[in-house]
Homo-oligomer: A and B are copies of this chain.
Amino acid sequence: MDHFRQAGLRARKEELERAARFGADHVFLFTGGLGDGERGLVAARRRAEDHIGRLLELARRVGVKLALEPLHPMLAGDRTVITSLTSANDLCDALGHGIGVVVDVYHVWWDERLEAEIMRAGRSGRLLGFHVNDWLLPTRHLLTDRGMMGDGIIDLKGIEVMMRRAGFVGGLEVEIFSTNWWARDPGEVMEIAISRCREIFGGPSHASYLSRVLDSAMTLRITAA
């Protein structure tokens, strides 16, 4: 292993240890895309799997899970090489315990394998999170034009039912990367998000939420009171 990779692994190890000190259940892992000038996802995927395997050993040692979030195929190449729940499940199967998946409706709603792969993840006890938002028509930007739940075309209730049937008991996390919503009053955005969640998912009746601002993204976590 070259110096660069060793330094990278050392930095990741410190992050995992910090997460363990915070009592985190899991840490998100994104593979990044292709290397500089690289073409061909097959090699990039193989390399990502090697790296994830090494990180998983570190994560197990400190007692934190790794969470894979497959991203939309339009983000293949620059953001990730894992573009489907199938790939994420395959990888988890290959690597064993201590790694799971987060389902973000935005990235996977189009996939004809969606229900089967959510069930598969549930059977293996690896559903670690559930992100909601919506797909707008038209979508004006690949990264920053997500919609508020109810403003787009994703069958949100249908996907939540799949998640519940598959055994997911966690809360909904609202994750709306959107220059439109970022420009609005955060309190108002939260109220709208909570009210839409109640309309669409039928609860919770008393919502508490956790808001985070990450890379100018607004994330709300809505949990039953």
- Interface residues, chain A, CB within 8 Å of chain B? 33-34, 38-41, 45, 72-74, 76-78, 83-84, 86-87, 109-112, 135, 137-139, 142, 153-156, 158
Question: Are A158 and B112 closer than 8 Å at their CB atoms?
Answer: no
Scoring A109, A112, A138, A142 by chain B CB atoms within 10 A of each residue's CB, the highest score goes to A112
**Please, which residues of chain B bring their CB within 8 A of the CB of A76?**
109-110
Query: Which residue from B40, B78, B83, B139 sits with its C-beta under 8 Å from A138?
Result: B78
Question: Are A110 and B158 closer than 8 Å at their CB atoms?
Answer: no
Alpha-carbon separation in the docked complex, A38 to B153 (Å): 7
Question: Are B112 and A77 closer than 8 Å at their CB atoms?
Answer: no
Further pairs besides A41-B110, A84-B112: 20, Cβ < 8 Å? A38-B153, A39-B155, A40-B155, A41-B112, A41-B155, A45-B112, A72-B73, A73-B73, A73-B110, A73-B111, A74-B74, A76-B109, A77-B110, A77-B137, A77-B153, A78-B138, A83-B110, A83-B112, A86-B112, A139-B142
Query: Which residue from B39, B135, B153 sits with its C-beta under 8 Å from A154?
Result: B39
Question: Are A112 and B137 closer than 8 Å at their CB atoms?
Answer: no
- Min Cβ gap A54→B in Å is 21
Alpha-carbon separation in the docked complex, A34 to B155 (Å): 11
